Chain A
Amino acid sequence: MKPIKSRKNKERITRTVCTIIVALGAFIIMIPTFWMLVTSVKQKDNTQTMPPEWLPRESARVEVDGKNYFLYDVNIDGEIKRLAAIRLNPEKSEFRDPDDFSHVYYAPSQQAKKVRIVKFHWENYRKIWKESLTPFSTFMKNTMKYSSLAVIGEVVSCALIGYGFARLRAPGKDFLFYLVLATMMLPWAVTMIPNYVLFTNHIPNIINKIFNVKINLTDSWLPLIIPKFFGSPYLIFLVRQFVMSIPKDYDEAAVLDGASYFKIWAHVIMPMSKPVLVSIAILSFMYHWNDYMGPMIYLNSNSKQPISVGLANYQLMYGGTPYNLLMAGSVLSIIPLVVIFFFLNRYFTQGIVISGVKG
């Protein structure tokens, strides 16, 4: 047996080492996010500098009579003055006092130092929000619409389906549940093409034959939203796991009272399942907010696109050089996710945990 004191010491050292490693890792992992924020408030000319500026620092300017001049700190007879540079010359540069422009100073350029200030160009956000070819406000609205409809569809359908699998007994149930699990593993790439043909071709044809109505599902949101009302295997699984953990006494009491299964679902099970419903709503929202391939396949017009496609197209259009605007757009695009994350942190991880630990 080791003496207790040295063991405690050892534990303390381990803990300190762990904390240092964790903090270091967290620092590194936050650098990209920090860099995105910093770039988003820089001036365009200041994004591509060597070495990179870790703060949105830029050369200070002053405007006099409609003209822009760089500001310099100039050493004039041992006294540092902040002056506007008119002409730079190694031996005799001309400076003027920005407050009293007639006041001229001369000094060798060695004695002058460019003034650097930290300036946040919040107007980058305004620019991308309003002034790009298709304003980002349109993309955001589209994404919000798409995500919320998809969330409603998935939450309602999965709540029904998950309850069925968790509580009700029926022949063939086990087999069907294995199918749910199997489709969880199914690569979406396999069903992507036939689903596209189904929505753009077969469904309009069938509807045309039966009802004699012409509908057009190309460049429409419907093919992206309709399937969401038929449940998603992973979320069904989460709801089922949660409902199974609710004690059966609750619904049995309701059955004795003669309540229908639908009533039990609505009045007993659903109120108790709020945590898992919030969890699946978040997972669904995150997925659809970031969804890129679906909208890219089904939508053509720029004004209908979600933020993911809008951002990517913006980059293609401008060659990816206005990094400050691109980063401002990226920040805007993740704000809703970050807000949800900080308010509903608990539910965020809960869903993932249910699936992994009990799976």
Chain B
Amino acid sequence: MQKKKFRMSKTAKREARWFYIFISPWLIGFLVFTLYPMAASAFYSFHNYNIVNMDYIGLSNYMELFSDQIFLKSLVVTGTYVIVSVPLTIIAALLVAVLLNQKIPFVSFWRTLYYLPSIISGVASALLWRWIFNGKFGILNNVLAIFGIVGPDWFNSEKWAMPAYWIISLWGIGGSMVIYLAALQGVPTALYEAAEMDGATSIQKFFKITIPMISPVLLYTLITNMISSFQVFTMIYVISGGLGGPNYSTMVYVLYLFKNAFQWTRFGYASAIAWILFLIISVLTVLMIKAISKKVYYVESGN
């Protein structure tokens, strides 16, 4: 990094002017569609607001949240989903990436197959999973029946609806898998050869070389998966018909936020819910970076 010059030359001024011209769309967009909305949502959260009327009510919305049983339940449901599905998908994606990084035949064909489900997302996959997890005619329970297991009526069961979503999250490992594959290919083979000389086992090599070498991307996927899992919505909205049932067992955080805002027009209350989410995600992101970045190994990059 160059030291700042106190007086900019004419060409430097011209360059700076052009910099701001080039990034002006982002700057305007950031101010209008990000910064202002954040401030506005903080402002709304202290009001009773339904687009037509706005009354200042102080911290009432936040106070109400602490005694709102559905909100508290949505915190637990979403928190559990994040705690289960994030490690589950990361481990599965890493496992598949390691396997696909071996010298096996048709490797690019396998990679395509494993990535394919990631592009089938959204409503189409929601309908598909609803059909597969159908208690009576779904193929999952029929396959389980072959092994003598009587499957539950997944989405109609308070106990099994969320676990069904945990399982479904495994289908979308393609994105993380591709990142891990690229990272694995960047690990110098010399390290493995040296370890082999010292008689290291495969498992030792994996934990002592592979994991530390790809730790930056592990941290990256951990954070991005955590953020997107906290905001899981479409799948559950479509499958539960927007209800988050049975008995609020699938009332995830953003679903509750959405219902407050767009069904019950409680914009102030919904904004408070949104800000709590923002705080949770910010704190967790910072904690993760702090806790893990000491152990993350960054390679000096060539450029």
Q: Which of B38, B123, B233 contacts A190 (CB 8 A)?
A: B38
Stretch at the interface among B57-65, B82-90, B156-164, B272-280: B272-280
A333 touching B124, Cβ below 8 Å: yes
Q: Do A193 and B137 form a contact, CB below 8 Å, given A33-B117, A164-B22, A230-B25?
A: no
A52 touching B142, Cβ below 8 Å: yes
Q: In A321-349, which residues have CB < 8 Å from any B CB?
A: 323, 326-327, 329-331, 333-334, 337-338, 341, 345, 348-349
Complex contacts, B4 vs chain A, CB 8 Å: 171
A31, A192, A315: which has the most chain B beta carbons within 10 Å? A192
B16, B127, B220, B278: which has the most chain A beta carbons within 10 Å? B127
B137 touching A230, Cβ below 8 Å: no
Complex contacts, A49 vs chain B, CB 8 Å: 137
B37 touching A35, Cβ below 8 Å: no
A256 at the interface (CB under 8 A from B): no
Q: Do A190 and B274 form a contact, CB below 8 Å, given A160-B22, A180-B26?
A: yes
A134 at the interface (CB under 8 A from B): no
> In the bound complex, how far is the Cα of B38 from the Cα of A352, in angstroms?
28
B182 touching A356, Cβ below 8 Å: yes
Number of chain A interface residues as a range: 35 or more
Q: Do A29 and B171 form a contact, CB below 8 Å, given A36-B128, A293-B233, A333-B123?
A: yes
> In the bound complex, how far is the Cα of B37 from the Cα of A163, in angstroms?
27
For B242, the closest partner residue in chain A by CB is A316
B127 touching A168, Cβ below 8 Å: no
> In the bound complex, how far is the Cα of B233 from the Cα of A291, in angstroms?
11
A168 touching B179, Cβ below 8 Å: no
The smallest C-beta distance from B294 to any residue of chain A, in angstroms, reads 18
B132 at the interface (CB under 8 A from A): yes
The smallest C-beta distance from A305 to any residue of chain B, in angstroms, reads 11
Q: Do A230 and B179 form a contact, CB below 8 Å, given A186-B34, A290-B121, A315-B127?
A: no
A284 at the interface (CB under 8 A from B): no
Interface string of B276-294 (1 = CB under 8 A from A): 0110011001000000000
B258 at the interface (CB under 8 A from A): yes
B149 at the interface (CB under 8 A from A): no
A176, A291, A309: which has the most chain B beta carbons within 10 Å? A176
A359 touching B241, Cβ below 8 Å: no
B26 touching A312, Cβ below 8 Å: no
Residues of A within 8 A of B (CB): 14-15, 18-19, 21-23, 25-26, 29-33, 35-36, 39, 47-52, 157, 160-161, 163-165, 168-171, 173, 176, 179-180, 183, 185-198, 200-201, 227, 229-231, 236, 244-245, 261-262, 265, 286, 289-293, 297, 307-309, 311-312, 315-316, 320, 323, 326-327, 329-331, 333-334, 337-338, 341, 345, 348-349, 352-353, 355-359
> In the bound complex, how far is the Cα of B24 from the Cα of A280, in angstroms?
20
For B273, the closest partner residue in chain A by CB is A189
B113, B114, B175, B275: which has the most chain A beta carbons within 10 Å? B113
Stretch at the interface among B68-76, B103-111, B204-212: B103-111
The smallest C-beta distance from B224 to any residue of chain A, in angstroms, reads 8
Complex contacts, B275 vs chain A, CB 8 Å: 190
A189 touching B116, Cβ below 8 Å: no
Q: Which of A25, A163, A190, A345 contacts B114 (CB 8 A)?
A: A25
Q: Do A192 and B261 form a contact, CB below 8 Å, given A157-B26, A333-B124?
A: yes
> In the bound complex, how far is the Cα of B118 from the Cα of A341, in angstroms?
11
Task: List the 7 closest pairs (A to B, CB-CB), nearest first.
Answer: A230-B29, A164-B22, A356-B179, A290-B122, A170-B16, A194-B37, A170-B19
A179 touching B30, Cβ below 8 Å: yes
The smallest C-beta distance from B8 to any residue of chain A, in angstroms, reads 8
For A226, the closest partner residue in chain B by CB is B33
Q: Which of A189, A329, A349 contacts B277 (CB 8 A)?
A: A189
B96 at the interface (CB under 8 A from A): yes
B113, B128, B271, B277: which has the most chain A beta carbons within 10 Å? B128
Q: Do A334 and B119 form a contact, CB below 8 Å, given A193-B261, A265-B22?
A: yes
Q: Do A35 and B26 form a contact, CB below 8 Å, given A26-B110, A26-B113, A168-B18?
A: no
Is chain A's binding surface mostly helix, strand, loop or mixed?
Answer: helix
Given A185-B227, A348-B115; 19 other pairs, CB 8 A cutoff: A22-B100, A32-B129, A35-B132, A49-B137, A160-B22, A161-B23, A163-B22, A171-B4, A186-B34, A187-B227, A193-B44, A194-B41, A196-B261, A315-B238, A320-B127, A333-B123, A334-B124, A337-B119, A349-B178
The smallest C-beta distance from B203 to any residue of chain A, in angstroms, reads 13
For B128, the closest partner residue in chain A by CB is A36
Q: Which of A25, A192, A194 contacts B36 (CB 8 A)?
A: A194
> In the bound complex, how far is the Cα of B142 from the Cα of A245, in angstroms?
52
The smallest C-beta distance from B103 to any residue of chain A, in angstroms, reads 6
A26 touching B114, Cβ below 8 Å: yes
A323 touching B25, Cβ below 8 Å: no
B119 touching A197, Cβ below 8 Å: no
B22 touching A39, Cβ below 8 Å: no
> In the bound complex, how far is the Cα of B139 from the Cα of A1, in angstroms?
51
Complex contacts, B129 vs chain A, CB 8 Å: 32
| 6 A-B contact pairs sorted by A residue (CB < 8 Å) | A18-B104, A36-B128, A169-B15, A189-B253, A227-B33, A341-B119
> In the bound complex, how far is the Cα of B105 from the Cα of A339, in angstroms?
25
A245 touching B303, Cβ below 8 Å: yes
B137 touching A170, Cβ below 8 Å: no
Q: Which of A229, A231, A308, A355 contacts B122 (CB 8 A)?
A: A308
> In the bound complex, how far is the Cα of B139 from the Cα of A351, in angstroms?
35
> In the bound complex, how far is the Cα of B26 from the Cα of A161, in angstroms?
7
For B254, the closest partner residue in chain A by CB is A189
Interface string of B237-259 (1 = CB under 8 A from A): 11001000000000001100110
